[in-house]
Structure 1
Amino acid sequence: MADVESFTLDHTAVHAPYVRLIGVERGPKGDAISNFDVRFVQPNEGEIPTAGLHTIEHLLASLMRDHVDGIIDISPFGCRTGFHLIMWGEPAVADVVAAVRASLAAIAEDITWDDVPAVDAISCGNYRDHSLHSAREWSKRILEQGISLDAFERVGV
């Protein structure tokens, strides 16, 4: 089987919350695609409840695009400690962190239920499993801890 970077990461050595550039892949025409580890919760010490994570996912999918260009996808980790962020080009980690902070601040302070996109049976595969309250509380907690520019040291929080 092929090696998967996230399975080789020492999850006991990182200090969440952080944003980490996992790597850059080049397409056949030289296009760069960057993969980021956007970690909100310390691995193996906690996890965001599914309903809150689901709501954060829906909101980040929209809000992040308001703050940074080139997003292809942002998808939650199965362990519920954060997200993979896939982007065109090679954006700076600091720019990604700024977009994450702004998006989480909007979730924590401004978003109402009417703002949450795709929460019906037509546009969501599990529309009953959302919690804006949980998304709001987790966003506040992450912002209070600060989002590091380095996975292994608390830098630029």
Structure 2
Amino acid sequence: MKKIASFTVNHIDLLRGVYLSRKDVVGDQVLTTFDLRMKEPNREPVLNTAEIHTLEHLGATFLRNHPEYDEKTVYFGPMGCRTGFYVIFKGNLESKDILSIVTELFDFAASFEGEIPGGSARDCGNYLDMNLPMAKYEAQKYLELLQNLGDENLVYPE
């Protein structure tokens, strides 16, 4: 079988960052998938399910309520390997095009207070597996990276 695109990425040399993962054309629309890599694969501990689940709720809610990105957002969710998130936006975009919205998103998550959106038994199939303090901690760590990105954090390694 042919490897899917995400399995061809050099995870040995991959750093934390914001990477263009793929572009797909659906009808007349370009959908751009980004890899929001919060952990260095196979070198750092992965995100625990409680904080990644919390960040998923915060991130998806933030993007779908954003005045500019609400209609551009197709998907925001965790990677199975738990080293970050995928976000899919409508549009033919590059990593540098989304740095401001990604920074806004993680700033929102790092400073969030109150009830987690969708964090109830009625609204979520696993509402007990949430950890807001750790989600805020991980969001803050990622924010620090976002403020100091180099090309090595924006382009997949060979």
CA contact (8 A) 1:94 1:149 kept: no
Which residue number in structure 2 is paired with residue 144 of structure 1? 144
Q: Unpaired segments of 5 or more residues in structure 2? A: none
* Aligned residue identity for 2:55: I
Alignment check: 8 A CA contact 1:15 1:154 kept: yes
Q: How does 1:28-107 map to 2 (within 5 A)?
A: 29-45=27-43, 46-65=45-64, 66=66, 68=69, 69-107=71-109
Counterparts of 1:55 and 1:86 in 2: how far apart (Å)? 19
Which position in structure 2 is the counterpart of 1:23? 22
Moved over 4 A (4+): none
Q: Which residue of structure 2 aligns with residue 123 of structure 1?
A: 123
Q: Is the 8 A contact 1:50 1:129 kept in 2?
A: yes
Provide the rounded CA distance (Å) in 2 between the counterparts of 1:15 and 1:85: 18
Whether the aligned pair in 1 keeps the contact of 2:18 and 2:153 (CA below 8 Å) is no
Q: Deviations over 1:77-99 (max 9, x none)?
A: 11111011112111332232211
In the alignment, residue 54 of structure 1 is paired with which amino acid?
Answer: H
Cα displacement (A) at 1:3: 2.2
What TM-score, normalized by structure 1, do the two folds share?
Answer: 0.85
Counterpart contact for 1:73–1:86, Cα < 8 Å: yes
Name the TM-score, length of structure 2 as normaliser. 0.85
Q: CA deviation at 1:64?
A: 2.6
Per-residue deviation, 1:7: 0.9
CA distance in 2, matches of 1:9, 1:154: 14
SS in 1 for 2:82: coil
Instruction: Report the aligned-residue RMSD.
Output: 1.8
How far did 1:146 drift? 2.9
